[in-house]
Amino acid sequence: MIEDSVESFILQYKPYAITAEIVASNEGNPLIECVVQTKVLHFLERTAPYLSAAGKRNIILNCSTEALSICSEPQKSFEVTGLSKLKARGLVLEQHGENLILDAGITFIVSSFTEPSSVAVGDWVEFECIAPIHGFVLSELGERPRYVEEDSI
């Protein structure tokens, strides 16, 4: 996670939030379980703990990675590989310094520990997330998030 503050991160990346179904969780557990498409993933709650009540919520998902690789063929996919871990492949929509906006069927903010200088907007890349996935639960559902295809959620 590379950010100035939680508030500035939310302000910058709110348009890329996804809609997910948060399931009930134990009080005091920092990992929140949610269902995205047909997959269950866990994320570290970075906002107020009471925003992550069960139900549909808009969430900004931020993954950290040590490396991004260019893909040989275009494919949007993500696979949960463990507790708060995943692998994803997708299209780079935007680049903001060390952060990429990646469409992998859902939108991820991908923070790379090395400047992804060899990656450009329009490239197809893959990465493996370093646990934990960071999640920023927004207080309202609001309008439909940007870059969401009709059949993706």
Quickly tell me which residue has 């927004």 as its tokens: 138
Query: How many other CB atoms are there within 10 angstroms of residue 128's CB atom?
Result: 16
The reply to whether 144 falls in a domain is no
What local confidence, expressed as pLDDT, does residue 2 receive?
Answer: 52
What local confidence, expressed as pLDDT, does residue 26 receive?
Answer: 72
The reply to whether 147 falls in a domain is no
- Ranges of residues in the chain whose predicted pLDDT is under 70: 1-3, 49-51, 115-117, 140-153
The reply to whether 150 falls in a domain is no
The reply to whether 142 falls in a domain is no
The reply to whether 27 falls in a domain is yes
What local confidence, expressed as pLDDT, does residue 139 receive?
Answer: 78
Count up the domains in the chain and report the number.
1
What local confidence, expressed as pLDDT, does residue 118 receive?
Answer: 83
Cis peptide before 132 (omega within 30 of 0): yes
What local confidence, expressed as pLDDT, does residue 98 receive?
Answer: 85
The reply to whether 119 falls in a domain is yes
Global confidence as pTM: 0.86
The count of residues in the chain is: 153
Range of the domain at 75: 6-137
Convert the pLDDT of each residue in 71-112 to its tens digit: 989 999 999 999 999 999 999 999 988 899 999 999 999 998
In DSSP terms, 108 is beta-bridged to: 102
What local confidence, expressed as pLDDT, does residue 153 receive?
Answer: 43
What local confidence, expressed as pLDDT, does residue 143 receive?
Answer: 45
Cα separation, 55 vs 34, whole angstroms: 9
Cα separation, 91 vs 98, whole angstroms: 16
The reply to whether 148 falls in a domain is no
The reply to whether 149 falls in a domain is no
First to last CA, the chain: 25
